[in-house]
Amino acid sequence: MRRWFVAAALAGVAASGLIVATTPTPSYAVSTFQGHGSIDEAYVVGAAPGAHLTLLNGSGTKVGTGVVNSLGGLIVGNVTPGRGFRFEETGPKQRETASFSVLSTNSAPPSSFYSSQHLRAGLNYVRMRDGITIAATVRLPPGKTLADGPFPTVIEYSGYGTAAPHSLIDALEGKAPSSDPLLPDTSTVVGSVIAPILGFATVSVQMRGTGCSGGAFDLFGLPSDYDGYDVIQAVGAQPWVLHHKVGMVGLSYSGLSQFEVAGTDPPDLAAIAPLSSTDDLFSTGYPGGIYNSGFAKSWVAQRISDARAAPQGGQPWATAEIAAGDTTCLANQRLHPEAQQLASLVSPDLSRVPSLFDQRSPAVWATHVTVPVFLVGALEDEQTGPQWPALIAALGHDKNVYVTMLNGTHIDSLGPDTLSRWLEFLDIYVAGQVPTPNPFLSLLAPAVYAAATGGGKSIAPPPLRFTDASSVSVAKSDFAAQDPRVRVLFDNGGGALGPGAMQPTFETGFSSWPPPGTVTRYYLGSGGALTSAKGASARATFHPDPSVRPATDLPTGNAFADQPPYHWTVVPAANGVAYETPAFSSPTTIVGPASLDLWLRSTASDTDLQATVTEVRPGETQEEYVTSGFLHAGYHTLSPSSTVLDPVPAYLKSDRANLPAGRFTLVRIPIDPIAHSFRAGTRLRIVISAPGGDRPSWAFETPATHGSVTDTLSLGGSMPSSLVVNVVHGVNPTATMPTCGALRGEPCRPYSKMANQD
């Protein structure tokens, strides 16, 4: 979700701060005191800064109050929809706004509202149903004008600098300075570079409350979600849009947004293609219920900064637009100070509040998505996280869902082995055409990957399929027949191009998630054994302490590089326990979520746990990271959707409970999804410790114990701790085992026994 690609080349954007220093404070004033209704909220502009306002409903009952911000705006939220609302100012002026309606999610405008808006190439302001205008930049294929249309069209929607109107293509080709503050963020490369070069018109849409868009930022709040509906309908109505249907594209932030928008069911949406998404804001902000004080904290801080009003703050491109005389951009800053306080979503010691998180959850919105979906993600994603496959179940009702998963980092969802299929999907489901060979695909991809990885190698994108289909319907049928619901690319980084190159070496398709397999339980036993047979009753103890290891395994460097400078440390012997299987006699492939079922007792009333799955190499001198799971043990109450493979803690404040003193409690740690082939001679190992030290950018706010806490596990007998995984059959890995550390997103470290291992 962070800004990537060639961000270092755009460091000169900071120079735009000079514009702030030399520009007089602008006037945001409007001539009238105006009240408006949005979805479940009301807002006012043109009020006196510092004035106290009261919101009255149609019956004259007070339903909210607030103080006008320094730019003359105010938002009152959590308002029941209805008619006849008005803002009232008491005091010297004693005035009130004209009456207005507060909208509901069912308040879609008539088609004429959308068709009356005409978008041109470049920066536009699209009017939303609540009167707010949203910045949207139309980017055409290089050398084209609107007269050359109609074009197959896609939308990229996020709160990054998405709608900044200048050409990132020109900057990357050296035709424009990379220091230009009006360049879009390089994190928008899917919509601002790749899609136009491959023949699609892109509409780069700026989320409300950011950049030059009006309104107040509320991370995936309902007004933002339904802005997506309105933009899709306005774009779909344009004469230059092929078939009057649009798709959605984007990676990370603009991948998450697609589920919310598609869930509102806009009629002109043809398909979505989200890359590197997450399933829920809570699962990224609080893995296992533990505050992510690394990536999540820093990402939210960036969003708060981006939501400030320009030109005194906010995004550089908005400051540059205002300095150039963009009065609409200036006027749109009036509600930016009303941005939602994101501490209610991401701050220490927060439980999952359904009323806050459900309406912002990609997985919840996915249950309403009916259009075709092309979903790709990495199982070691260092930013949004590897828990995203929960989206697959949420999309279970949608027959046209095509998922690709692989080992790798945040950008590997855009890897060469998926880029070709991404283009096929867009050609068929958005453009409504038979895929056409595109010479720019093989020219563009190496430059994209080299820039992202710092010069790393990658395979060439495979040729497009179905190019000889006799019709679109035949191409669509062939695509559906040849593409499984879940496609797993294995050993990404382990091919002939060298360690860490973007190159999977084999793949397998599955009809469902988790795929059909043998649910296998390995019991934790004495001496660190991990076996299929339950052993005699025993105990194992350790002293969890996060302070004994670095917070992350990549203190510096590019996580996208072919060989990042990982510093993946071992857990000191006294601070964890480890269990490992005997060496596998034949290749064993595990695909799906997993569960570590621990009978746990602690001297503390609560304890934070990390369970890390690794592959121990023959000879037990090295081990390679596979995945992890986390749990704040107080959240051991599970939701009804839990299964034997997939424990799902409810994370509700009402369910949070201390561990009973002196007694063992069954605590099931959800292990992030695995898709890994253990070759003959390797062992599966699980290391249990305090959280931290195993992820490049996830850090955890968990207290240092300095050895004062003792956690005890029950092994065997009537309280057997165990690991449950899904072993799939019919997978044929390559004969050659990749070098330890070659696989993308999977660092290697020296093997070290724990104190519990004989």
Residue 247 has pLDDT above 80, yes or no: yes
Q: What dihedral do alpha carbons 652, 286, 592, 462 form, nearest 10°? A: 140
Alpha-carbon gap, residue 101 to 81, rounded angstroms: 7
pLDDT at res. 27: 60
**DSSP readout, 690-706?**
SS-SSSSS--B-----T
Q: Does the reported pTM lie above 0.75?
A: yes
CB atoms < 10 A from the CB of 115, how many?
15
Strand partners, 295: none
pLDDT at res. 706: 87
Q: Which two tokens stand for residue 300?
A: 């939210």
What are the extents of the domains in the chain? 34-102, 518-750
Closest CA to 247 of 400, 432, 99, 466: 432
Helical axes 439-453 vs 416-426, angle rounded to 10°: 140
How would residue 317 be classed by pLDDT, with cut points 50, 70 and 90?
Answer: very high
Residue 12 has pLDDT above 90, yes or no: no
pLDDT average, residue stretch 95-120: 96
CB atoms < 10 A from the CB of 140, how many?
20
**C-alpha separations of 287 from 224, 283, 412, 453, 611 in Å:** 25, 5, 21, 27, 12
pLDDT average, residue stretch 449-457: 91
Same fold flag, 34-102 and 518-750: no
Beta-strand pair 82-89/52-56:
antiparallel
pLDDT 10s digits, 577-612: 999 999 999 999 999 999 999 999 999 999 999 999
pLDDT average, residue stretch 113-124: 98
Which secondary-structure segment (H or E) carries 298? helix 295-306
pLDDT at res. 19: 28
| Most distant CA pair in the chain, distance | 85
Phi, psi for 669 (deg, rounded to 5): -90, 120
How would residue 30 be classed by pLDDT, with cut points 50, 70 and 90?
Answer: low
How would residue 26 be classed by pLDDT, with cut points 50, 70 and 90?
Answer: low
pLDDT average, residue stretch 185-195: 95
Alpha-carbon gap, residue 269 to 372, rounded angstroms: 10
Residue 29 has pLDDT above 80, yes or no: no
Is domain 518-750 classified as CATH 3.40.50.300? no
pLDDT 10s digits, 74-93: 999 999 999 999 999 987 77
How would residue 22 be classed by pLDDT, with cut points 50, 70 and 90?
Answer: very low
Phi, psi for 43 (deg, rounded to 5): -140, 160
Q: Which two tokens stand for residue 472?
A: 């679109």
CB atoms < 10 A from the CB of 248, how many?
30
Q: Which two tokens stand for residue 447?
A: 């430059």
Closest CA to 391 of 409, 366, 414: 366
How would residue 565 be classed by pLDDT, with cut points 50, 70 and 90?
Answer: very high
Contact 520, 727 (CB under 8 A): yes
Question: Mapping DSSP to helix (H, G, I), strand (E, B) and coil, where does residue 222 land?
Answer: helix
Residue 163 has pLDDT above 50, yes or no: yes
Any idea which residue has 């249950």 for tokens? 367
CATH fold of the domain at 34-102: Immunoglobulin-like (2.60.40)
Any idea which residue has 């807002």 for tokens? 43
pLDDT 10s digits, 325-383: 999 999 999 999 999 888 777 788 889 999 999 999 999 999 999 999 999 999 999 99
pLDDT 10s digits, 679-710: 999 999 999 999 999 999 999 999 888 889 99
